[in-house]
Amino acid sequence: MEELRKRIVECDLCPRLVRFRVEVAKRRPKRYKDWEYWSRPLPGFGDEKARLLIVGLAPAAHGGNRTGRMFTGDGSGSWLAKALYETGFANKPESLHREDGFSLKDAYVTAVVRCVPPKNRPNSEEIENCNQYLVEEIKHLKNLKVILCLGSVALKGTLKALKKLYPEADLKGIKFGHGLLYRPSKLPFLLVTSYHPSRQNTQTGRLRWEEWISVFKKIREVLR
């Protein structure tokens, strides 16, 4: 897994994303003017013995792209960290920066795209370039029982990886929706879908806290 992380961090397959992640750091807002931005691709992080894999879209411009860790230092990361803590998957309710002591137990966090994309919209080629890394992460997580996909793009990228790993699995009819659980035949784990905890969802009321935490409670019950 460590060798995989190194390859991800050194990846430069997507010229558009390479340019954009550097541009973001150059025009960082005043509140982060003293930060040295990570501005590189992000590997996943967490417990390598995890039974739960959480798949997001991509690093946030001033979240993961700044701090160097997925779902860290922004609103989405705060919602995820609190939910993981309240359901026993994390040791503390905040994920602020790489040296904050935040750690995961029985969970691993990753994304279908490893560099921040313009307007949070990676194109199909960029998703395909990154898909190899998701495939390898899933292969390394030997105890995996549940994959939680945050958003429709995360679901599409995850299904793409699963088709490569388990070509015999029946993945037809799997559609995105909040709090849905799928048990595909010939797939050794469950798929769960949820709205992404982005500000576009949480601040508009599309995703409420009770609906969000219920997904993790459902997963905890499944694992029990």
pLDDT tens, position by position, 21-54: 999 999 999 999 999 999 999 999 999 999 999 9
Longest dimension (CA), the chain: 51
- Measured between alpha carbons, how far is 216 from 146 in angstroms, rounded to an integer? 11
Instruction: Specify the 3-state DSSP secondary structure of 22.
Output: helix
**For 49-104, what is each residue's pLDDT tens digit?**
999 999 999 999 999 999 999 999 999 999 999 999 999 999 999 999 999 999 99
CB burial class (10 A; 0-12, 13-18, 19+) of residue 152? middle
Residue 66 CA, chain-centre distance (Å), reads 16
In this predicted structure, what is the pLDDT of residue 111? 98
Q: Which domains does the chain have, with CATH numbers?
A: 2-223 (3.40.470.10)
pLDDT of res. 112: 98
Sequence letter at residue 223: L
Q: Which of 76, 108, 74, 73 is nearest to 90 (CA)?
A: 108
- Euclidean distance between CA atoms 206 and 58, whole angstroms: 20
